[in-house]
Amino acid sequence: MQIHRPPRHPHVWWALLVVSQLIVIAIWWRYGWRIGLPAMLASHLPFVWGTLWPQSRLFGPALIRLPTDERCVWLTIDDGPSDDTLGLLDVLDAHGAKATFFLVGERAAARPELVREIARRGHGIGNHSATHPSAWFWALGPRRMRAEIQGCQTILQGITGTAPRWFRAVVGMANPFVAAPLRDFGLARAAWGARGFDAVRHDIEGVVATIERDLAPGTIVLLHEGARHGRSVETIAALLQRMQAQGYATVLPEDLEGSPV
Task: Please state, in angstroms and rounded to a whole number, the distance separating the CA atoms of residues 234 and 145.
Answer: 34
The answer to whether position 259 is within a domain reads: no
Domain-embedded: residue 261: no
Burial (CB count <10 Å: 0-12, 13-18, 19+), residue 156:
buried
pLDDT tens track of the chain, all 261 residues?
689 999 988 877 777 777 788 887 888 888 888 887 887 888 778 888 888 888 888 889 999 999 999 999 999 999 999 999 999 999 999 999 999 999 999 999 999 999 999 999 999 999 999 999 999 999 999 999 999 999 999 999 999 999 999 999 999 999 999 999 999 999 999 999 999 999 999 999 999 999 999 999 999 999 999 999 999 999 999 999 999 999 999 999 999 986 544
Q: Is 78 helix (H, G, I), strand (E, B) or coil?
A: strand
Same domain for 118 and 181, yes or no, is yes
Same domain, 139 and 32: no
Residues 141 and 35 in one domain: no
Chain-centroid distance, C-alpha 46: 20
Q: Are residues 43 and 71 in the same domain?
A: no
117 and 34 both lie in a single domain: no
**Residue 3 lies inside a defined structural domain of this protein:** no
Residue 57 lies in a domain: no
Whether 21 and 77 map to the same domain: the answer is no
Both 33 and 140 in a single domain?
Answer: no
Q: How many domains does the chain have?
A: 2
Is there a domain that residue 217 lies in? yes
Residues 67 and 48 grouped into a single domain: no
How many beta carbons lie within 10 A of that of residue 185, not counting itself? 20
Domain that holds residue 47: 12-52
Residues acting as catalytic residues: 78, 224
Residue 36 domain-assigned (yes or no): yes
Task: Clarify whether residues 78 and 135 are in a common domain.
Answer: yes
Provide the total of helices (H) and of strands (E) in the chain, helices listed first.
Answer: 10, 9
Do 166 and 186 reside in the same domain of the chain? yes
Examine the domain organization and report whether 184 and 244 are in the same domain: yes
Closest CA to 197 of 187, 188, 205, 207: 207
DSSP letter (8 states) at residue 170: G
CATH of the domain at 151: 3.20.20.370
Whether residues 78 and 175 fall in one domain: yes
In a domain, 4, yes or no: no
